[in-house]
Amino acid sequence: MAAVLARSDKFELCSKEPPTQTITRRWCFAVLQGRIAYPLLVLVAAVSVCAVAQTARSTVVAGASDVATLEVFPIALRSVEEPSALNSTLSSSGSVGNRANTRRVIVIGFVGGYARADDQGHPEVQFAEYLRDRYRPGVHAEVFANHDGKKALHEVLRLLDGGGNANPSSTEREQARIIIFGHSWGAGETVVFARELGKLGIPVELTIQMDSIAKPGHDDSRIPANVANAINFYQSRGPVQGRTEIVATDPAHTTIIGNLHMTYKGQWIDCSNYPWYARTLNRPHHEIENDPRVWDLAATLIDSEVDGRALTTRISSSWKPFIK
């Protein structure tokens, strides 16, 4: 804005018209264009606030043992033997605490905006900790910033390679069990990252997108064929609204579990992990990130992938009111 104003002042000084006439004409032009420019400015400002706000640390949500965390992220405090609310309804093959059939799974999460990968104020970071505690050593869960896709890819290759040299064999790649999740820009990066894994012949068991926002030049709607299952959560209020629908590039290889429209009218979601201006300007986008229902279903889906149980159709049936 400062650069634009400086350039405008310089232009006026070079004009043959009196400065007052030039300024008046510019203001008239600005008013006439305001019908288009103002909404665009508001949208850009909201997106910027959303992205910057995600870097703010919470003074309320301090960790998995904090009382506020229980309200925002209740599954983090469950015991390993306790099934989730959805599991108690959906499971038909024994307790989720039975790890006899546990397979080693790599879970990669991406935070939104400009958030740091170690920011405890974000449920994505807390969720990764929950998974590590719940499944150790059966699951490796790690969170990255949404602009650190290359770093995440190197880590996955390192984990797949038995020798630890980030150069897995074709067999090691084919036998990979990978789950990816994220919110906002992190959800958009989820699809981009899955696509990069596909180029290397690495399959993905599940992708979870939460109010997905694609960066310019990226496509977060078409799920690549190397992904076995994908689910999309979105909301349709506020200045920043997530991707409403994802589709399979190849339906023969990818099952879209559902496009779940989450609504918050009349329902309070604790967003105290965000500063006041983010809660005021863009609350719905942050509500979906802090929605316990979203994380509960994510945990249920990961339970099924780790334990080798197929819950897709029953989950879709149970969540029918939210399925698009």
Cα–Cα distance for residue pair 113/221, rounded to 1 Å: 19
- Band (pLDDT 50/70/90 cuts) for residue 310 is low
The per-residue pLDDT for range 272-297, each reduced to its tens digit, is 988 888 888 889 899 999 999 999 99
| pLDDT average, residue stretch 204-218 | 95
Instruction: Say which range, 33-42, 51-60, 64-73, 125-134, has the weakest mean pLDDT.
Output: 64-73
Q: Which residue has the higher pLDDT, 96 or 117?
A: 117
**Residue-range domain boundaries for the chain:** 51-322
pLDDT above 60: residue 68: no
Instruction: Say which range, 3-7, 15-19, 149-153, 285-289, has the weakest mean pLDDT.
Output: 3-7
| pLDDT average, residue stretch 139-152 | 96
The per-residue pLDDT for range 105-120, each reduced to its tens digit, is 999 999 998 888 988 8
The share of the chain scoring above pLDDT 90, in percent, equals 47
| pLDDT average, residue stretch 194-205 | 97
Assess contact for 73 and 129: CB atoms under 8 A. no
The per-residue pLDDT for range 250-276, each reduced to its tens digit, is 999 999 999 999 988 888 899 998 888
R_g over Cα of the chain: 23
Residues 6+ apart with CB under 8 A from 295: 73, 75, 123, 127
In CATH, the number for domain 51-322 is: 3.40.50
The per-residue pLDDT for range 159-183, each reduced to its tens digit, is 999 877 888 999 999 999 999 999 9
| pLDDT average, residue stretch 94-113 | 67
Cα–Cα distance for residue pair 272/144, rounded to 1 Å: 22
| pLDDT average, residue stretch 306-317 | 63
pTM of the model: 0.71
pLDDT above 80: residue 19: no
Q: What is the 3-state secondary structure (H, E, C) of the chain?
A: CHHHHHHHHHHHHCCCCCHHHHHHHHHHHHHHHHHHHHHHHHHHHHHHHHHHHCCCCCCCCCCCCCHHHHHHCHHHHCCCCCCCHHHHHHCCCCCCCCCCCCCCEEEEEEECCCCCCCCCCCHHHHHHHHHHHHHCCCEEEEEEECCCHHHHHHHHHHHHCCCCCCCCCHHHHHCCCEEEEEECHHHHHHHHHHHHHHHCCCCEEEEEEECCCCCCCCCCCEECCCEEEEEEEECCCCCCCCCCCCEECCCCCCEEEEEEECCCCCCCCCCCCCCHHHHHHHHHHHHCCCCHHHHHHHHHHHHHHHHCCCCHHHHHHHCHHHEC
Cα–Cα distance for residue pair 262/284, rounded to 1 Å: 10
Assess contact for 324 and 316: CB atoms under 8 A. no
Average pLDDT, whole number, for the chain? 74
Instruction: Say which range, 7-16, 31-40, 166-175, 194-203, has the weakest mean pLDDT.
Output: 7-16
